[in-house]
Amino acid sequence: MSQDDPLERIARLAHADRVPVTVELDEALAALDAELADLAGALEVAYVGPGVGMADMGAEHVYRLVVRRHVWDTTTAGWGLKVCDALDNNDLRPMWPIQGVGRLRKQQVVKALPAFFAGYAEAVRAAGKADTEAGRRILAMAGKLS
């Protein structure tokens, strides 16, 4: 991966016409995932973000970007951003980390990140946590992706 900031790489791709799915993108998404786990754990502000289902099948609402305390199994739980099953009967069950989705959905995740961060920053503000260190970082990230 080049020397540039993973968030800057993602920001460029989020606004590009085409999102090439590469090892570098996977590394940038994994770095973002790790940072968001720390920030979300510090903030404890839940947010249900944009859909990242298969838009060409009219199913963009089926999976969503969600920040909350996720339970993966009986031994693994924690705050963070995951792609969750958003159907009514699944209670926002975490399906994948953002870097763990398939190629087509990964492109959608990258394209959805600016809207996700704008909404999450608003949720952080509404929770009265924008003046915390983690809150300021989320607002800065939202600014970079806008």
Q: Which amino acid is at 62?
A: V
Q: Is residue 36 part of a domain?
A: yes
Exposed/middle/buried for residue 38 (C-beta within 10 Å: 0-12, 13-18, 19+):
middle
The predicted model scores a pTM of 0.91
What is the signed CA dihedral for 62, 123, 24, 56, rounded to 10 degrees? 20
Where in the sequence is the domain holding 131, given as residue range(s)?
Answer: 6-145
Q: Taking a C-beta distance cutoff of 8 angstroms, is the pair 1, 8 a contact?
A: no
Q: How many domains does the chain have?
A: 1
pLDDT in tens, the chain (146 residues): 345 788 999 999 999 999 999 999 999 999 999 999 999 999 999 999 999 976 655 566 789 999 999 998 888 899 999 999 988 777 889 999 999 999 989 999 999 999 999 999 999 999 999 999 999 999 999 999 99
Q: Is residue 1 part of a domain?
A: no
| Residue 73, number of CB atoms within 10 A of its CB | 6
Q: Is residue 117 part of a domain?
A: yes
